Amino acid sequence: MELTAGTAPTRRRDQILVEAARLFARHGFHGTSIDGIGAAAGVSGPAIYRHFPSKEGLLAEMLVGISEYLLDGARTIVAAHPDPGGRLTALVDFQVEFALTRPELITVQDRDLASLPDDSRRRVRALQRAYVEIWEDAIIRTGPPRDADQVRTAAHAAFGLINSTPRSAAHTSPEVAGAVLASMALAAVGA
């Protein structure tokens, strides 16, 4: 699962995806125009339709790609870390790394999900649910016993904490921010 793939013939395509993510994060899906995306990617307007079937299709590919990347990463971590403590730490580090590296994708994912067509939205939700379940399982195996609602709330709270990056890390070094977020997240889910 390569999120930044780039063999020669797909360079323009990837560029469009990157610029679209930046613009969606800044202005929202409905606040971004096809012409704007094209201009940012160095082509003009309708050239986008040579690479994507529609504006919604572009968003769909972006969000499905993110969800698959995250779920894949989480599954790899589960396989590599049988011990609960190490697994949870690795999950936290993985999410922190992603949030610090691609903050625009974090923003778009939880802001413009509702703009997806029904089938893509269901697909993304299913992937997200699987991802959350891995977290919930890791949280249950660590720390004090809690009921399902508490664990669910804790998992989402941890995501919210880590994903606060786009609002705060603009002027902070990634190393400092990453260390702070990781230790805060672990302290929070251990409470």
Partner DNA sequence: CCGTCGTGTGAACGCTCGCTAACGTCTCGT
Partner DNA sequence: ACGAGACGTTAGCGAGCGTTCACACGACGG
Binding-site partner at residue 34 among a second copy, DNA, none, CB < 5 to 8 Å by type: DNA
**Burial of 87 (C-beta count, 10 Å sphere; 0-12/13-18/19+):** buried
| Interacting residue with DNA among 4, 33, 153, 172 (CB under 7 A) | 33
Q: Name all contacts of 14-17 with Cβ < 8 Å and 24+ positions apart.
A: 15/41, 15/42, 16/41, 16/43, 16/48, 16/51, 16/52, 16/58, 17/58, 17/61, 17/62
Q: Name every residue whose Cβ is closer than 8 Å to that of residue 133 and which is 6 or more positions away in sequence.
A: none
Q: Is 190 in the site for a second copy (CB under 8 A)?
A: yes
Q: Given the complex with a second copy, which of 25 and 51 has the nearer CB atom?
A: 25
Q: Is 140 in the site for a second copy (CB under 8 A)?
A: no
Closest by CA position to 142, among listed 189, 77, 103: 189
- Tell me, residue by residue from 31 to 70, as one string, x for binding to a second copy by CB under 8 A and - for no binding: x---------------------------------------
Interface with DNA in residues 36-55 (CB under 7 A): 36, 38, 43-47, 49-51, 54-55
Q: Is 117 in the site for DNA (CB under 7 A)?
A: no
- Pull the structure tokens for residue 137: 């399982």
Q: Is 118 in the site for a second copy (CB under 8 A)?
A: no
The residues that touch DNA, with contacts defined as CB under 7 A, are 9, 12, 32-36, 38, 43-47, 49-51, 54-56
